[in-house]
Chains A and B, each alone.
Chain A
Amino acid sequence: MQLCDLSAVEIRDHISSKQASALEVLESCLQRIKQVDGRPGELESGPETKEDTERVHAFITLTEGAARSQAEMVDKMIANGEDPGLLAGVPATIKDVFCVKDTPSTIGSRILANFISPYTATPVARMRSAGAVVLGKVNLDEFTYGSSTESSAFQPSTRNPWNTGRVPGGSSGGSAASIAAGEAALSLGTDTAGSIRQPAAFCGVVGLKPTYGRVSRYGLIAFGSSLDCPGPLAKNAKDAALMLCVIAGPDLRDATGANVPVPDYLELLEKEIKGKRIGLSPDYFQITFPNLETGEYTQQPLPIEIQEAVLRAADVYRSLGAEIIEDVPMPNTRYGIPVYFVISRVEAASNLHRFDGVKYGYRTSSETDDLKMLYKKSRGEGFGLQPKLRILMGMYVSAAQYSEQYYQKALQVRTLIRRDFERAFDPSGKYKLDALLTPTTPSTAFPMKDVYGDSVLMQYADQLAVPANHAGIPGISFPGGLDADGLPIGVQLLGPDFTEGVLLQLTHAYEQATLDAEWRTIRPAVLKGM
Chain B
Amino acid sequence: MAEYEAVIGLETHIQLNTRSKVFCSCKADSWEDPQNTNICPVCTGLPGVLPVLNEDVVEKAVLLAEAMHAQVQPISYFDRKNYFYPDLPKGYQITQFDKPIAVGGHIDLPIPETADPEGKGYIRNVRIHKLHIEEDAGKTKNARNQRLVDFNRCGVPLVEMVTEPDLRTADEAAQYLIRLRQLLRWLGISEADMEKGNLRCDGNVSIRLKGSEVLNQKTEIKNVNSIDSLRDAIRKEIDRQIREVEKGNEIHAWTLDWDEDAGVLRKMRSKETEADYRYFREPDLLPLMISAEWKREILKEFPERPLDRRQRFCDQYDLPVYDADILTLERGLSEYFEEAVKEYQGEPKKVSNWLMNDVLRMIKEQRLEPRAMQLTPAFLAELLRLVDAGTINITTGKSLLQIVQDTGKSPAKLVEEQGLAQVNDDAQLGVICSKIISEHPKEVSAFQNGKESLIGWFVGQVMRESRGKADAKMAKDILTDLLNK
Contact = CB atoms under 8 A, between A and B. Distances in A.
A497 to B, nearest CB: 15
A398 B278 contact: yes
A308 B282 CA distance: 42
Interface stretch (A62-70, A330-338, A356-364, A510-518): A356-364
Nearest to B42: A253
A366 to B, nearest CB: 16
Contacts of A360: 46-47
A354 B89 contact: yes
Contacts of A395: 278
Nearest to B271: A372
Interface in A181-230: 217-222, 225-226
A346 B277 CA distance: 12
B95 to A, nearest CB: 13
Given A219-B48, A354-B90, A225 B284 contact: yes
B92 A353 contact: yes
Contacts of A115: 47
A225 B283 contact: yes
A218 B49 contact: yes
B283 A353 contact: no
Contacts of B92: 350, 353
Contacts of B149: 358
The CB with the most chain A CB atoms within 10 A, among B41, B51, B91, B286, is that of B91
B278 A99 contact: no
The CB with the most chain A CB atoms within 10 A, among B50, B92, B149, is that of B50
A325 B444 CA distance: 125
Interface string A135-168: 0000000000000000000000000000000000
B44 A398 contact: no
Interface in A84-124: 98-99, 105, 107, 112, 115, 117-119, 121
The contact size tier of chain A is 35 or more
Contact of A252 (B44, B52, B90): B52
Contacts of A218: 48-50
Contacts of B80: 350
Contact of B89 (A107, A221, A359): A359
A116 to B, nearest CB: 11
Contacts of A99: 46-48
B348 interface: no
The contact size tier of chain B is 20 to 34
Contact of A403 (B90, B280, B284): B280
B145 A256 contact: no
A226 B283 CA distance: 6
Given A99-B46, A358-B149, A255 B285 contact: yes
B290 to A, nearest CB: 16
Nearest to A396: B278
Given A226-B283, A256-B284, A118 B41 contact: yes
Secondary structure type dominating chain A contacts: loop
Given A255-B53, A353-B92, A356-B91, A403 B283 contact: no
Contacts of B91: 350, 352-354, 356
A316 to B, nearest CB: 39
A403 B82 contact: no
B361 interface: no
Contacts of A252: 52
Contacts of A117: 46-48
Contacts of B283: 225-226, 256, 347
A118 B84 CA distance: 24
Contacts of A355: 47
Contacts of A347: 283
Contacts of B52: 252-255
Contacts of A349: 82, 278
A168 to B, nearest CB: 24
Interface string B178-210: 000000000000000000000000000000000
A260 interface: no
A105 B91 CA distance: 20
The CB with the most chain A CB atoms within 10 A, among B47, B52, B90, is that of B47
Contacts of A220: 48
B460 interface: no
Contact of A112 (B42, B47, B86): B47
B276 interface: yes
Nearest to B80: A350
Contact of B284 (A105, A255, A356): A255
Contacts, number: 99
A304 interface: no
Given A256-B284, A347-B283, A375-B84, A221 B48 contact: yes
A484 interface: no
A355 B89 CA distance: 9
A407 interface: yes
Contacts of A225: 283-284
A218 B77 CA distance: 21
B48 A346 contact: no
A522 interface: no
B104 interface: no
B49 to A, nearest CB: 7
Interface string A341-382: 000001101101111101110000000010110010000000
A400 interface: yes
Contact of A399 (B45, B84, B278, B284): B278
B467 interface: no
B278 A400 contact: yes
A217 B50 contact: yes
A306 to B, nearest CB: 33
Nearest to A394: B278
B84 A98 contact: no
Nearest to B84: A375
A399 B285 contact: no
B143 to A, nearest CB: 13
B97 to A, nearest CB: 11
B147 interface: yes
B37 to A, nearest CB: 14
Interface in B54-95: 80, 82, 84, 86, 89-92
A258 to B, nearest CB: 10
A115 B46 CA distance: 10
B50 A105 contact: no
Interface string A383-416: 0000000000001001110010001000000000
Nearest to A407: B280
A253 B46 CA distance: 14
Given A118-B46, A253-B50, A346 B284 contact: no
B387 to A, nearest CB: 60
Contact of A354 (B47, B276, B285): B47
The CB with the most chain A CB atoms within 10 A, among B82, B276, B278, is that of B278
Nearest to A227: B283
A217 to B, nearest CB: 6
Contacts of A400: 276, 278
A112 B48 CA distance: 12
A255 B276 contact: no
A255 B286 contact: yes
B152 to A, nearest CB: 14
Contacts of B276: 399-400
A350 B280 contact: yes
Interface of A: 98-99, 105, 107, 112, 115, 117-119, 121, 217-222, 225-226, 252-256, 346-347, 349-350, 352-356, 358-360, 369, 371-372, 375, 395, 398-400, 403, 407
14 contacts: A218-B50, A252-B52, A255-B51, A255-B52, A255-B284, A256-B283, A346-B278, A347-B283, A350-B91, A350-B92, A353-B92, A358-B86, A369-B145, A375-B84
**Pairs of residues from A and B, 6 with the lowest C-beta to C-beta distance, nearest first:** A353-B91, A225-B283, A226-B283, A221-B47, A398-B278, A221-B48
Interface of B: 41-42, 44-53, 80, 82, 84, 86, 89-92, 145, 147, 149, 276, 278, 280, 283-286
Given A107-B47, A252-B52, A407-B280, 15 more contacts: A117-B46, A219-B48, A221-B47, A255-B51, A255-B53, A255-B285, A256-B284, A353-B92, A354-B47, A354-B89, A359-B44, A369-B145, A372-B84, A375-B84, A398-B278
